[in-house]
Structure 1
């Protein structure tokens, strides 16, 4: 009989379809979905309004990692943000087990960069420079 425990969230990787080999990120945020609703008033019913589902809504996907000076992903981001040349791509976020095999995967569809941020430089601190990528996307599928 297998033991079932909630998985740990520190063992994961991000695979961009367009950029193989670049998958080491320190954190991933924004894998959530929310249902938008619309209120409809019914004639003669004054106690409540009906709430009906309209569409799914996805937040920005936020990826963080140590700054890589020569990175295809950053060239892709800069090309979009500086030259307004967008090339959407799909990516997969994989939560891994202790054997480095996927427990769950999120296939993120039609992602493109909307923000690139570099952490502050501070001569009084000894820490890595962190880059943050914010991506819009259409939706994701859990695999």
Structure 2
């Protein structure tokens, strides 16, 4: 009998499908924001005062947040800076894949039409011996799960 175990969340990969990357450019420390929810509209029915109908209106997707140690030469950061410095927004499709211990995909999120929203570098502090972390926040239209 096969046993079910929830997957570990530390073995994953991120691919920018529309941006050519080297192998280091696709390594991330964390991914967050793979979230979707419905917005609802409340409708009151005439003569019925006990409740309101809640009707789904549209879906809302959270921003995707990627974190990693800062790289001095990065195609992804060049894409970000092109948006921030030159206001050139080139949408990209991303794939986030959660993998098992055999490097086989367990679940894949295909993120559609992502564009840069925020880029942040961690604080510099002479009293600490830590790696500089860059945080990249993207907004996107939707994702599909495989």
TM-score (norm 2): 0.95
Q: 1-side partners of 2:5 and 2:63: how far apart?
A: 29
Equivalences for residues 71-110 of structure 1 within 5 A = 71-110=74-113
Quote the offset at 1:44 in angstroms: 0.8
Shift of 1:84: 0.7
The aligned length equals: 143
Output the CA distance in 1 between the equivalents of 2:11 and 2:32: 14
Structure 1 unaligned regions, length at least 5 = none
Deviations 1:22-58 (A, max 9, x none): 3200000000100111011111111211100011100
Q: CA deviation at 1:92?
A: 0.4
For residue 58 of structure 2, what is the aligned residue in structure 1?
A: 55
Q: Deviations over 1:60-110 (max 9, x none)?
A: 000000001100000000110121100001000010111111111100000
Helix, strand or coil: the match of 1:82?
Answer: helix
Residue 34 (str. 1) matches residue 37 (str. 2): yes
Say what the alpha-carbon RMSD is for the aligned residues.
0.9
Q: Which residue does 2:142 correspond to in 1?
A: 139
Deviations 1:106-137 (A, max 9, x none): 00000010100000001111110000000000
